[in-house]
Amino acid sequence: MTISEVSEKYGLSQDTLRYYERIGVIPPVKRKAGGVRDYTEEDLGWIELAKCMRSAGLSMEALIQYVNLARQGDETIAARRDLLNDQRKQLMKQYEAIRAAKERLDYKISRYDEAMETGRLSWDK
C-alpha cells in the first residue's frame, strides 16, 4: 500500500505516518524504487497497534520502547510483557477516574430529571 492509501485507511495524515516511522513508533517501512514507501500487512499491524495504544493513552516513549524491544526478538518477551502490564495499570487508574466521574454525572443528571418532574431542585452537590 502507498502512504496515501494507508493515510486514508487509518485516518492518519501522511506527515503523522512519516513521523511515527522517523521516531520509531513503527519500524522502518520498505521502499520501492524511487523511495516510495510500500506498506505491508506487517506494517499495517504496527500502525493499528500504534493507533490503539495512543488512543488508550500510551506515551510515545513507551510505544517506542515497545517497538525497539519487539525488533530485538524473542529474548525481550518478558520486558515487553512488563511494559504492557505497567501501561495496563496506568490505563486502569484512568478508567477508574473516568468511571467515578461518570457516576457523579449520572447522579447529577438524575437530580435534574427529578427537578424537571417536580418543578424544584433540592440542594445539590
Asked if residue 98 belongs to a domain, the reply is yes
Cβ atoms of residues 21 and 65 within 8 Å: no
Domain total of the chain = 1
Asked if residue 104 belongs to a domain, the reply is yes
Domain that holds residue 108: 3-118
Asked if residue 50 belongs to a domain, the reply is yes
Asked if residue 125 belongs to a domain, the reply is no
**Rounded percentage of the chain residues whose pLDDT exceeds 70:** 98
**Residue from 124, 117, 53, 109 nearest 86 by CA:** 53
Q: Please, what is the average pLDDT of the chain?
A: 93
Whether the pLDDT of residue 68 is over 90: the answer is yes
Q: What is the pLDDT of residue 124?
A: 59
Q: What is the pLDDT of residue 47?
A: 97
pLDDT tens figures, 14-66:
999 999 999 999 999 999 989 999 999 999 999 999 999 898 888 899 999 99
Report the length, in residues, of the chain.
Answer: 125
Asked if residue 16 belongs to a domain, the reply is yes
Residue 52 belongs to domain with CATH number: 1.10.1660.10
Asked if residue 62 belongs to a domain, the reply is yes
Q: What is the pLDDT of residue 119?
A: 87
User: How does DSSP classify residue 25?
Assistant: S
Asked if residue 124 belongs to a domain, the reply is no
